[in-house]
Amino acid sequence: MLGKLPTSKLGCGMLIAIGLCLIVLFLVFGNSLGDLVSMTGSDGVDQPFGAYEEPTAVAAAPRPTATRRPTSESSTSGSGDTWTILLYQDADDKVLEKDIYVDLNEAELIGSTDNVQIVTQIDRYSGGYSGDGNWAGTRRYYIRQDNDLTRVNSDLVEDLGEVNMASGQTLADFIVWGVQDFPADKYVLILSDHGMGWPGGWSDASTRSGGQSDIPLSSMTGDQIFLHELDAALEQARSQAGIDQFEMIGMDACLMGHIEVMTALYPHARYAVLSQETEPALGWAYSSFLDQLNNNPGMDGAELGRVIVDSYIIDDQRIVDDAARQDLAGGRFVSAQQVVNQIGRNITLTAADLQRVPELLDALNTFAFSLQAGDQRGVSQARSYAQSFTSIFGSEVPASYIDLAGFAKLAAKATGSGSVSTASSQLIQAVQNTVLAEKHGPQVPGATGISIYFPNSQLYRTSAAGPASYNVAAEQFVNLSLWDEFLAYHYSGESFDLDSVGAIAPRAELVRAPAAGGIQVSDLRLSDAEAAPNQPVLMSADISGENIGYIKLLVGYYDRNANAIYVADSDYIASQVTDEVDGVFYPVWPEDEFTLDFNWEPIVYAVSDGENYAEALFSPVNYGRSAEEAVYSVEGIYTYASGEQIQARMYFQNGEMVSVFGFTSESGGNSGAPREILPSAGDSFTVLEYWNDLDSEGNVTNTSYEPGKTLTFNGQPFTWEVLDAAAGDYVIGYIVEDLDGNSKFVFAPVMVR
């Protein structure tokens, strides 16, 4: 039934297991049709990844939670109360151009004053947003007050033509120009574009290149302002412009709330504003925080950071202005509160005191050192179950961007080590001292303001996501922290001392996963070889192992003519005991062997545009909340009415699509920096189907995403539809994942009538 919660999707990506019985038998894992659906790609091949891990985008929920933190008295960079706000607006992107251009227009609502001058360097995209003359190239403006949200009427200072906004030198040149031509007591730098976390961000579609040879990750992302390049650019700009530090650096971009990023920024600025999770298309509430700064120019960067966090989403002109809100909603009338509730569900934003970063690093180093005394299986469990955020490295590996304080709390609990517990408490306190204010939506309840990178073994052993790239991009952090030493210990057993700071990269052949494998699954038993509407089949298997992470349902349709399996459904199956830390839920599996039973109804799912539908694989995003909060994603290709295409992902909740995100990977697939797309009439979405080719013995020889049906945005909301499974041959079973993200499959054939 259209819009009804699916029968087998009973709670935030969670299927309820029935008849979970403890037994003492140990059965050998049975395999039929070979290693079906090799989702993890755990062969260790050194290559870019084609997808990224889930942004939790949605759910009918209360407004975001804002948390203020105590801080010490701060100093200012000058004796007066004058400010220069430098906006580095990299809008040379199909997805972002209009959003960033509107942000510039929001800044114009306030404009420059005697106390607060605002200047920008904005680069537009050719073939994207067609408003306000549809010009392309890069311009510098001195922002004047203007009430028109659709046209820039500020002073054009310089037309630079096309410049590479993905270059650190371009950024440095802009900073030097802004500081020298518009001197002030305090300087704020705000950078807008795609963000990727510790790798950096800020690409340029018009000057696209193959990337930088000193960082293997660039083969996937293309040229960016990688984090080490940003560090160097800021150092150069401060030296040439003659300023000690910025009062604040803000990153109006996704995923930049990493301790790795804060470590790169702290020599250059007193305060920072960053987001742990993806940002919605709105960006920051520029008119609101600039207005408050104009009214109180005596504030410091700490208070400005709090103002930016407090005003985020709720005071944005695209929400509070009726016409702008209607445009944002595609012409539909919605209330401001409706938009806030919708957009605010998975947001995060942090104001950080960068002067506290050295103390934070000291606490992290003590904690990293203490983890050597803990059971590494418990450490892996903490990594797997901590609040996670969108990763740029692929949905085929576990999320690797995790909340630092949440991980520390889980590690203390999972390892049972006294030294880990003590160091964990100290680290959590250091995080709280660094975070001046933070806001998070109900879909990311475990967000506390600062993230860290903790890859699984597959990511760690690759050049694109392991030390070969991490140690280059996060150079400042690697040289000052023991985190890279801990990762080397966790995956290779190389111990370290408290004074061992400096880059380390273990040999690839030494990398192993301490919590991988060790899982036994019996042959799957079915109550019947046939299923039909209202005639479910009971699935049973005996499972044991100390490294069990998640267990999921697997449903595949077997195409005899192609000798291939289409993966039709997958979802979390709940353990009988579910635990929770700071609102983040995770399964607790029995230590002894147990029997897992589940009744499978022969149903599949489809996306509907109101006129047509396309069958699709709805993948679960998170574990353990109510059915109304369950979030699912569908992979696809987004095609603009102009014909331009981008890899994309739709998110669904409670029967309706709630957001679409596009990705910027140079290597194809839904990897790279994510950013929300606001659909327009005439745009379309082609569902990607996940197929597994088999050989004559039933072994998987190739897995691929293939284009399915295309649906068109026509003013009606996209929804999901529950369908009776078509008659034919299927395989159903369980996917048992270990704590390193590797999967073991057990399944059996069933006929649907």
**In angstroms, rounded to a whole number, what is the distance separating the alpha carbons of residues 249 and 186?**
11
CA 253 – CA 431 distance, rounded (Å): 21
Which of the 8 DSSP states describes residue 742? -
Residue 596, classed as helix, strand or coil, is strand
Tracing tokens 């400010």 back to the chain, one arrives at 83
As a whole number of angstroms, the distance between CA 405 and CA 58 comes to: 23
Residues 140 and 19 in one domain: no
**Backbone torsions φ then ψ of 376, nearest 5 degrees:** -65, -20
Judge whether 271 lies within some domain: yes
Residues 224 and 303 in one domain: yes
Q: Are residues 21 and 157 located together in one domain of the fold? A: no
End-to-end CA distance of the chain: 20
User: CA 206, CA 229: separation in Å to the nearest integer?
Assistant: 20
Q: How many CB atoms lie within 10 A of CB 156?
A: 11
Q: Is residue 694 part of a domain?
A: yes
Angstrom distance (rounded) from CA 502 to CA 169 = 27
Residue 615 structural domain: 14-30+522-752
Q: Is 52 left (phi over 0), alpha (psi -120 to 50) or beta?
A: beta
**What is the count of structural domains for the chain?**
2
249 and 309 share one domain:
yes
732 and 583 in a common domain = yes
CB neighbours (10 Å) of residue 326? 14
Strands 225-226 and 186-192 come out as: unpaired
Q: Does pTM top 0.75 for this prediction?
A: yes
CA separation for the pair 88, 165 (Å, rounded): 9
State the pLDDT at residue 211: 54
Q: Both 279 and 199 in a single domain?
A: yes
Are 139 and 246 contained in the same domain? yes
In a domain, 218, yes or no: yes
Which residues sit opposite 566 in a β-bridge?
A: 557, 691
Give the separation between CA 287 and CA 177, rounded to whole angstroms: 24
> For residue 123, is it within any domain?
yes
Residues 631, 745 within the same domain? yes
Q: What separation in angstroms does the CA of 154 have from each of 252, 563, 709? A: 22, 63, 46
Indicate the residue among 353, 370, 402 that finishes a domain.
Answer: 353
**411 domain residue, yes or no:** no
CA 503 to chain centroid, in Å, comes to 26
* Ranges of the chain whose pLDDT falls below 70: 1-79, 206-213, 625, 665-671
Q: Identify whether residues 124 and 240 lie together within a single domain.
A: yes
Q: Which residues of 252-288 are buried (b: 16+ CB within 10 A; e: fewer)?
A: bbbbbbbbbbbbbbbebbbbbbbbbbbbbbbbbbbbb
- Give the CATH number, domain containing residue 90: 3.40.50
The two structure tokens encoding residue 691: 């197929």
End-of-domain residue from the set 353, 387, 420 = 353
Rounded Cα distance, 364 and 387, in Å: 18
Question: Both 676 and 538 in a single domain?
Answer: yes
Question: Do residues 24 and 101 both lie within one domain?
Answer: no
For residue 5, being part of any structural domain is answered with no
Tens of pLDDT, residues 489-519? 999 999 999 998 889 888 878 899 999 999 9
For 384-430, what is each residue's pLDDT tens digit?
A: 999 999 888 877 788 999 999 999 999 999 999 999 999 999 999 99
- The rounded distance, in Å, linking the Cα atoms of 542 and 548 is 13
Q: Is 271 strand, coil or helix?
A: strand
Is residue 346 within 8 A of residue 277, CB to CB? The reply is yes
Within a domain: 488? no
Which residues are within 8 A (CB) of 130 and not within 5 positions of it... i.e. 6 or more apart?
A: none
State the chain's maximal CA–CA distance in angstroms. Answer: 81
SS3 of 503, please? coil
Query: Is residue 273 in some structural domain?
Result: yes
Residues 340 and 275 in one domain: yes
Residue ending a domain, among 298, 329, 353, is: 353
The residues, ordered by sequence, that sit 6+ positions from 507 with a Cβ below 8 Å of its Cβ are 492
- For 105, the token pair is 């227009």
What sign results for the dihedral spanned by CA atoms 299, 280, 477, 215?
Answer: negative
Render pLDDT for 9-62 as a digit per residue (tens, 0 to 9).
Answer: 334 344 444 333 322 222 222 233 333 333 333 333 333 323 323 333 333 334
Nearest to 511 by CA among 453, 459, 548, 472: 459
The rounded Cα 387 to chain-centroid distance in angstroms is: 11
Q: SS3 for 623?
A: coil
Helix or strand (DSSP H, E) at 724: strand 719-724
Contact 150, 132 (CB under 8 A): yes
Please report where in the chains the tokens 């104001």 appear, as a residue. Answer: 351
Give bridge partners of residue 675 from the DSSP assignment.
Answer: 662
